[in-house]
Chain A
């Protein structure tokens, strides 16, 4: 039976870029194990010969003509940004000190 340990949840949260507090880890880890145990019931239901469905209807690629269309102004595009400067998104440093 699958089980997610507290340490695994902490690792997954790091991968998902969410700081979970100790209290949240204590709370979420057992809940996730219960959910996972329940959804694991489908293992073995479909044989390997069954094709996977990623999408309810068949998808085809969609093209449009390569012409200029109206789009957001720089002001509109930046209107929701937490910080901006000189028509650019302003972000915290992306490299660590050692880099």
Chain B
């Protein structure tokens, strides 16, 4: 094993730490050096905490020297999406309204990372309050896709995905409300998982839409994602929606899947998530992935989920309603930006609030708050929010019926490969279409994984393959994901990211 440290998987780094080949300080410094080298152009990070990460790494090395590592991943550094509260580290959610805010507490997932000994490298860039599919809605400038710096890294978690694709971090945490972990994974050639709703605590996650949000792993391999979800997941008394029952072992499922045998597994290809609106190069890579599942022994059938065609519209009613309610807390009184309105001698709290929210929120956030305010207003509530909630029931019903026939469902993760920065920035509907295939899982609460399926013939850019499973059966997405990953990597002769162009100024 002679690959440079920063190019190895988290599982390999854990082994290297356990064998004494390297130390957490060396590993953490290597990633900090890489960040210093390439993050100018990539801009995956909003804040880098070199001092804190190195101090945590030293403590990790001391534990290991004493023979008592805190976890299997003790000492492996990680990046955290800037929507998760980190005590003592800035948490902006990509918004001006929280510029400079330093939380006085840790999100539960962050507390679990710290307890397990993972040094936190810094906070990653995102669309403002996780609203977007390109990371261009960040108030602090976009992240760029390491495969092509002129293109978007997906969103909202483009920073976490790009940090992985640019080898700036071996692990990251993301959040997925309509695809914000999986779609960035797809367009950057990395792995991302949205766990079952309630399988990972949301305490300390700045909510966009409570009934849809979920924290999950952003990694380069399926096994790494399983290791990270097992580490941060599980019941949390501080989150009332947290599931009390444990999930099946995800790491075991990933290891079993990597053996490549899927005999007896029933796979459903979702008819409604392909065809029109999907790029040819994406569909070709997806079909090849399906062929490999067949070759591994799976039985593949086409499954129809007729209500999925309404998922996007349903989501863009339910989500803005929850957004308009959630973001009311940014009132310029207890935390965040306070702006004095111009030309008013002694402004009232309401006037200050209105001026602060105008100055602090960007376009997309304002669009969604106003849309949600409209859909929830008297006289429209039943027509919009009520209707969307009933269609949500139909979408859940489609999943239930499909999982009566098959063990997992598959589709392309995103309809296209990465588009150019600016291309869809001021065309909200075009931007929303990026989440066409990822949204149904959020509406129904089921787990979903995206892994690299190869490069599209027509654009030469990464394509994502999505695996969906029933609620609480997260182990299945890991098993199938690991099997497909093994089959694809044996064709490619290594990970897909080995084919990514070297970044400017980066010695490889």
- Among B24-32, B54-62, B121-129, B370-378, the stretch that binds chain A is B370-378
- Among B68-76, B151-159, B285-293, B342-350, the stretch that binds chain A is B342-350
CB distance from B92 to the nearest CB of A (A): 12
Interface residues contributed by chain A, number (CB under 8 Å) = 57
Contact of B396 among A45, A56, A77, A80 (CB under 8 A): A56
B428 contacts across to A, CB distance below 8 A:
31, 34-35
Q: Is the CB of A17 within 8 A of B350?
A: yes
- Among B295-303, B387-395, B458-466, B487-495, the stretch that binds chain A is B387-395
Question: A37–B302 Cα gap in the complex (Å)?
Answer: 31
Q: Is the CB of B371 within 8 A of A36?
A: yes
Given the interface pairs A12-B377, A19-B341, A45-B391, the reply to whether A57 lies near B197 with Cβ below 8 Å is yes
Q: Is the CB of A53 within 8 A of B389?
A: yes
Interface residues contributed by chain B, number (CB under 8 Å) = 72
Select from chain B the residue with minimum beta-carbon distance to A54. Answer: B389
- Interface SS majority for chain A: loop
Q: Is the CB of B348 within 8 A of A19?
A: no
0/1 per residue, B349-372, Cβ < 8 Å to A?
111111101100101001101110
Contact of A19 among B307, B358, B393 (CB under 8 A): B358
Q: Of residues 2 to 35 in A, which have CB atoms within 8 Å of B's CB atoms?
A: 4, 8-9, 12-21, 24, 27-28, 31-32, 34-35
Q: Is the CB of B367 within 8 A of A18?
A: no
Tell yes or no: B16 within 8 A of A by CB: no
A87 contacts across to B, CB distance below 8 A:
none
- The winner among A8, A45, A56, A83 for most chain B CB atoms within 10 A is A56
Contact of B390 among A27, A46, A62 (CB under 8 A): A46
Given the interface pairs A15-B377, A17-B354, A42-B387, the reply to whether A80 lies near B102 with Cβ below 8 Å is yes
A38 contacts across to B, CB distance below 8 A:
313, 316, 429
Question: A99–B431 Cα gap in the complex (Å)?
Answer: 46
Question: A79–B388 Cα gap in the complex (Å)?
Answer: 40
Tell yes or no: B317 within 8 A of A by CB: yes
Tell yes or no: A51 within 8 A of B by CB: yes
Tell yes or no: B383 within 8 A of A by CB: yes
0/1 per residue, A73-94, Cβ < 8 Å to B?
0001101111100000101111
Question: A35–B312 Cα gap in the complex (Å)?
Answer: 11
Q: Is the CB of B358 within 8 A of A20?
A: yes
**Total A-B residue contacts, Cβ distance less than 8 Å:** 178
A43 contacts across to B, CB distance below 8 A:
383, 387
CB distance from A68 to the nearest CB of B (A): 15
Q: Is the CB of A4 within 8 A of B374?
A: yes
Question: A4–B445 Cα gap in the complex (Å)?
Answer: 32
Q: Is the CB of B198 within 8 A of A57?
A: yes
Given the interface pairs A12-B370, A15-B377, A17-B350, the reply to whether A72 lies near B445 with Cβ below 8 Å is no
Given the interface pairs A39-B313, A42-B310, A46-B394, the reply to whether A59 lies near B241 with Cβ below 8 Å is yes
CB distance from B461 to the nearest CB of A (A): 27
Tell yes or no: B101 within 8 A of A by CB: yes
Q: Is the CB of B355 within 8 A of A19?
A: yes
Select from chain B the residue with minimum beta-carbon distance to A9. Answer: B370
- Interface SS majority for chain B: helix
Question: A35–B431 Cα gap in the complex (Å)?
Answer: 11
B198 contacts across to A, CB distance below 8 A:
57
0/1 per residue, B317-345, Cβ < 8 Å to A?
10000001000100111111110010000
B350 contacts across to A, CB distance below 8 A:
17, 94
Q: Is the CB of A17 within 8 A of B353?
A: yes
Question: A96–B368 Cα gap in the complex (Å)?
Answer: 30
Question: A40–B316 Cα gap in the complex (Å)?
Answer: 10
Select from chain B the residue with minimum beta-carbon distance to A80. Answer: B335
Question: A89–B335 Cα gap in the complex (Å)?
Answer: 9
CB distance from A78 to the nearest CB of B (A): 8
A27 contacts across to B, CB distance below 8 A:
363
Question: A25–B377 Cα gap in the complex (Å)?
Answer: 19
CB distance from A74 to the nearest CB of B (A): 11
Contact of A50 among B348, B371, B394, B471 (CB under 8 A): B394
Question: A73–B313 Cα gap in the complex (Å)?
Answer: 44
Tell yes or no: A1 within 8 A of B by CB: no
Q: Is the CB of A91 within 8 A of B370?
A: no
B101 contacts across to A, CB distance below 8 A:
80
A12 contacts across to B, CB distance below 8 A:
370, 373-374, 377
Select from chain B the residue with minimum beta-carbon distance to A13. Answer: B370
Select from chain A the residue with minimum beta-carbon distance to B239. Answer: A62
Q: Is the CB of B393 within 8 A of A91?
A: no
Q: Is the CB of B361 within 8 A of A36?
A: no
Q: Is the CB of B386 within 8 A of A95?
A: no
Q: A45-B391, A62-B240 are in contact. List 16 more A-B contacts (CB 8 A).
A: A12-B377, A16-B370, A28-B363, A31-B367, A35-B432, A40-B313, A45-B390, A45-B394, A51-B393, A52-B389, A52-B390, A59-B241, A62-B237, A64-B237, A82-B335, A82-B336
Chain A residues close to B by CB (< 8 Å) = 4, 8-9, 12-21, 24, 27-28, 31-32, 34-36, 38-43, 45-47, 50-57, 59, 61-62, 64, 72, 76-77, 79-83, 89, 91-96
5 A-B pairs whose Cβ atoms sit less than 8 Å apart in the complex: A56-B442, A57-B471, A59-B241, A62-B237, A77-B104
User: When A and B form their complex, which 6 residue pairs have the shortest distance between CB atoms, in order from nearest?
Assistant: A56-B445, A80-B335, A52-B389, A82-B338, A46-B390, A76-B104
